[in-house]
Structure 1
Amino acid sequence: MIKNPSRRDFSAGAIATIAASTLPAPYVWAAEKKYDAGASDTEIKIGQTVPHSGPGSLYGVLGRIGEAYFQMLNEKGGINGRKVKFLTMDDAYSAPKCVEATRRLVEQEEVLALYGSLGTAPQTSVHKYLNSKGVPQLLLNTGASKWNNPKEFKWTMAGLPLYPTEARILARHVVAVKPNAKIGILYQNDDFGRDFLGPFKKVLEDAGGTAKVIMEQTYDLTEPTVDSQLINLSKSGADVFYNITTGKATSQSIRKVVELGWKPLQLLSAGSTGRSILNAAGLENATGIVAIRYNKEVGLPKWEKDPDVMAFEELRKKYTPAIDQDNTIAFAGYGQAVTMGEILRRCGDDLTRANVLKQASNLNGFHSPYFLDGVNYSYTPDDYTPMKTLFISTFTGKDWDISDKPMSE
């Protein structure tokens, strides 16, 4: 139901019956009904912005699976008796278009809250605006450290592991397996790269400094290759390589390490472990790479009997059969839609923006169907770190071998 190129408008509904039956009753209570814009006796209106078009359009599936999920729930009767109207709008991964779409959601559509919007740069462009308006900006698909600032920007909460959390856990892993490691780092020369770099080095320092960073190399997104940086790192004597890159730079660097005959322990930022990136690098070249893991995957035999994966597959087949069975981005969107539904369910009849924020910031312990067992949300009103416990995983050339026990930052 696309009404125009920049908007998808679907009616939506309640948290799944199974979730409602397994969560404690006290979250829903009889009280005086309270509403802000976007809520009434019969409807709750929520929105998001993601790239349905442009170079980032593969992430548009986040919105499409959200539409399907809320449509399914709507057919089951609604959240606390109310239907949910979900608006997923196209920002083409462009800051100006994100501003335009977000203003429309807030000022014209008058949504109660936004959730699951994508990208550090687009969301930064509306960060101050949404906080000045007091509109919840929840479960963002970005892990930038700036989102954990409840004192100054209390209306904004990330939905992915924060980059510093990931870096600290990888550093702890290095200290555990190579206490005298000599580490070379390649990082993107921007806030993304620096969000990993500082926390990683701090853990090494706090551990006594026997594992040391001996060389750092940077690259800009405009550079055609990172070959020269890899050559320098390979000659440094480093036996650990921390690869803080994205996109084609990741694929290039994985291939180049093999071409150079360099055989370090390789650490890779989790956002760059997607199949498309590894396929471009050559799966055999990526064998042995270590990254954090916190989610299940769809389309793999090891997960096909998992109840949460089965529920997602049932939804996909019925409502969005054009989405591939192994689309883990869609599965991530499903997990966030379930989580947003739970936040709204816990609001009961107090559907004010302040109460939406209260319920979101007290989500500590909630388990998304997207998460591995042992990983839960860790939000508290004073600390918006989405999750503090993650798993270490190693790529086998075909799949990720996940550690038996999670590791905390």
Structure 2
Amino acid sequence: MQSLTRPKIALAMQALVVTAFAAAPALAQDTSPGIANDTVKIGISGPLTGPVAALGAIADGIRTRIDPINSAGGIKMADGKTRKIELLVEDDGLDPQRTLTNARKLVEKEEVFALVATAGTPNNQAIGRYTTQRGVPNLFMYSGVHELAGPEWEMGFVPSFTTEAAIFAKYLLDNMPQAKIALLFLNTETGQTFQSALEGAISGSNVSIVAAQPVTSADPTVETQLSTLKASGADTLVVITGPKQGAEAVRFATESGWKPTTLVSNIAASIASLKPAGLENAKGVITSQFLKQVNATAPGDDEGVQRYLADHAAAQSKFSTDDALGQSGYAIGDALVKVLESMKAPTREAVMEAARNLDHVQLDLLLPGIALTTKSGEDVYPIESLQLFQFDGTAYQPLGEAISFEGKTPKH
């Protein structure tokens, strides 16, 4: 047998290295962390416990959309590979510092590809600088304040609070041109943004805000604030709070004998959220919606609703089918799938590019006439339309058609 000299050994080793690199999967090159040939890791931080644990339905809603897709083998992406989505969920109790801790864990230890549906404006503010420095997408935030710390790596999902404020103002200007508003608002940028937008939308009219009371998510009760608002003589109550406090406001407004015209932000107005108030007390409540009204006992022939109900049953979801927070999570999961399917390369940059250029993307639970549309450098708001609904004691009934602010969302 012929012996190998040192030069021949060196040449043989080089050949082996070249062969190894040639045989390596193409995905090993120019790929971001968290995505492999058959999986993509997605991180979620949200309040699964604590005073606003109801928001945990968002994460469960995402799982409801993703589980059946994974069971069917995964999603086929634009690079030709089919991948399952691995969801990693961390509880933050809506504490911004815990959200930051979770983000660090998900990015540095778990090496997720992206964060999705981070709940709460302060929470997204807390991680914005970090995700921007690390170049990690924070996609489809559950916050109506879109202009946060790192727009190149962040994107909201729900309509801006400025849009909802403008639509509430339009309703009052058209139907109650002398309305005296009492405002109950979260004392965060969420509520402050809404208040500022509402003031701007009614400026120069005879509609006025005669009293405003702030609340925090940690307040055990908001009865003191509501008593002050009632004493103002207002004939209209506008509520921009979490679900628990929204229900308390609705119950107080009726049971105290005040009975103002009540408009509640969509973050607190689902039937599931209003049940603690007593649905009889919620009769007449007006809200804005971008999602279809789901009646599990009478789903009709809407294919999107039927698919949602089937997925809800298959995933054994914890939230009720009429919970708008769970529905929002399901829609976010649907949007995530659409973006992952369309991104042109297995990189974080590519997923943000896809998210920034959505062209009338349809989702199962979006109301007719509402679709996801963004344009890089010009339009960062995926949803810019809302429709008003009024609760009749059993279900929400539409008040007119969807109102579009496409390309015209008021800035805060």
Normalising by structure 2, report the TM-score: 0.80
**Contact 1:68/1:319 (<8 A) preserved:** yes
2:395 is matched with which residue? 399
1:99 is matched with which residue? 100
1:289 aligns with 2:285: yes
Deviations 1:366-397 (A, max 9, x none): 12212111111232223322311100111111
1:303 aligns with 2:299: yes
Residue type at the aligned position of 2:92: A
Deviations 1:255-310 (A, max 9, x none): 22223432322111111113344222121111111110110243444534310111
Q: What does 1:9-408 align with in structure 2 at a 5 Å threshold?
A: 34-52=30-48, 56=53, 57-74=56-73, 80-93=80-93, 94-147=95-148, 152-205=150-203, 208-221=204-217, 223-320=219-316, 324-348=320-344, 350-381=345-376, 382-408=378-404
Residue type at the aligned position of 1:139: F
Change in Cα spacing, 1:68 to 1:53, as seen in structure 2 (3 Å) is: farther
1:24 is matched with which residue? none
**Residue range with higher mean Cα deviation, 209-218 or 41-50:** 41-50
**Residue range with higher mean Cα deviation, 67-76 or 277-286:** 67-76
SS at match of 2:147: helix
**Residue range with higher mean Cα deviation, 111-120 or 371-380:** 111-120
Change in Cα spacing, 1:344 to 1:222, as seen in structure 2 (3 Å) is: closer
Residue type at the aligned position of 1:154: E
**Contact 1:265/1:288 (<8 A) preserved:** yes
Change in Cα spacing, 1:73 to 1:105, as seen in structure 2 (3 Å) is: farther
**Contact 1:44/1:82 (<8 A) preserved:** no
Deviations 1:319-374 (A, max 9, x none): 437665545544333322221111122113x2222221111011142122121111
SS at match of 1:173: helix
Counterparts of 2:90 and 2:254, CA distance in 1: 39
Residue type at the aligned position of 1:379: T
Counterparts of 2:199 and 2:104, CA distance in 1: 40
Shift of 1:69: 3.6
Shift of 1:135: 1.2
SS at match of 2:155: strand
Change in Cα spacing, 1:373 to 1:40, as seen in structure 2 (3 Å) is: same
SS at match of 2:159: coil
Residue type at the aligned position of 1:37: P
Deviations 1:90-139 (A, max 9, x none): 22334344333322332233333222233333333221111111111101
Counterparts of 2:37 and 2:219, CA distance in 1: 55
**Contact 1:140/1:159 (<8 A) preserved:** yes
Deviations 1:179-207 (A, max 9, x none): 222222222333222121000110111xx
Change in Cα spacing, 1:129 to 1:203, as seen in structure 2 (3 Å) is: same
**Contact 2:114/2:137 (<8 A) preserved:** yes
**Contact 1:63/1:88 (<8 A) preserved:** no
Residue type at the aligned position of 1:115: V
**Contact 1:49/1:91 (<8 A) preserved:** yes
**Contact 2:263/2:287 (<8 A) preserved:** yes
**Residue range with higher mean Cα deviation, 69-78 or 357-366:** 69-78
Counterparts of 1:300 and 1:307, CA distance in 2: 13
Counterparts of 2:325 and 2:282, CA distance in 1: 21
1:15 is matched with which residue? none
Counterparts of 1:264 and 1:379, CA distance in 2: 38
SS at match of 1:403: strand
Change in Cα spacing, 1:63 to 1:405, as seen in structure 2 (3 Å) is: closer
Shift of 1:78: 6.3
Residue type at the aligned position of 1:238: A
Change in Cα spacing, 1:41 to 1:225, as seen in structure 2 (3 Å) is: closer
Shift of 1:89: 2.0
**Contact 1:298/1:331 (<8 A) preserved:** no
Counterparts of 1:316 and 1:368, CA distance in 2: 16
Shift of 1:238: 2.4
Identity %: 26
Normalising by structure 1, report the TM-score: 0.81
Change in Cα spacing, 1:129 to 1:212, as seen in structure 2 (3 Å) is: same
Unaligned runs of 5+ in 1: 1-32
Residue type at the aligned position of 1:311: R
Aligned length: 371
